[in-house]
Amino acid sequence: MSEPTTTAADGSVRYGTLTWVPALQRPDLLAEPVRAALERLEEADRVHVTEIDPELADTAAMTEAYELPLEASVNCVLVAGKRAGEERVAACAVRATTRADVNSTVRRLLDVRKASFWPTDRAVETSGMEYGGITPVGLPAEWRLLVDAAVAGGPVIVGSGVRRSKLLLPGEVLLALPGAESVEGLGLAAQGTGE
């Protein structure tokens, strides 16, 4: 996978056809919970943001339009299940070339009988982020953050909480987020990827 290249003394980098700037220099491109989380994150200087066409926020469209490697994109899905009447929620971060193993790994980690993807409207309302922009950065502290171990190596592109921008950061920074857990085998080979 290609690496971002530093382009200027201001800390901006080039990745794909995009120029990415230090995220906290452009708070207008961040959802409020994301901005607040970055302000508390020790490694925030390693997180960059870029503006994109919101119509291209979905992974496949974005990677093609901006010449970004698909394997750099990390999807964040929200999953929940109940145990003894208590809802247990987890955000799962997996490379776009994989899919989250909800029915086995996530279900077991949440210790629930059945784990399901959260409905879109509930995910948006509770996270404070836009659909298509939900990111591991800035999620509610009471949710578990399960990060596929394969995400730790190399650059990662995730949502910024809004559809009109994306974040770029080293994978290990995701594991520095509060409550993040590295989970081996969380991401399964997606059908059609040949992996």
Whether the full predicted model's pTM is greater than 0.85, yes or no, is: yes
Residue 93 has pLDDT above 70, yes or no: yes
Q: Rounded distance, CA 153 to CA 3, Å?
A: 11
Q: Rounded distance, CA 159 to CA 107, Å?
A: 24
Average pLDDT over the chain, rounded to whole?
92
User: Dihedral, CA atoms, 186, 145, 23, 156, nearest 10 degrees?
Assistant: -10
Q: Quick one: which of 15, 34, 17, 16 has its CA closest to 26?
A: 34
> Would you say the C-alpha torsion 161, 69, 54, 49 has a positive or negative sign?
positive
* Over residues 46-74, mean pLDDT: 96
Q: Which two tokens stand for residue 99?
A: 């899919």
Relative to beta strand 13-15, strand 5-6 is: antiparallel
For the chain, domains (ranges, CATH) are 12-189 (3.90.960.10)
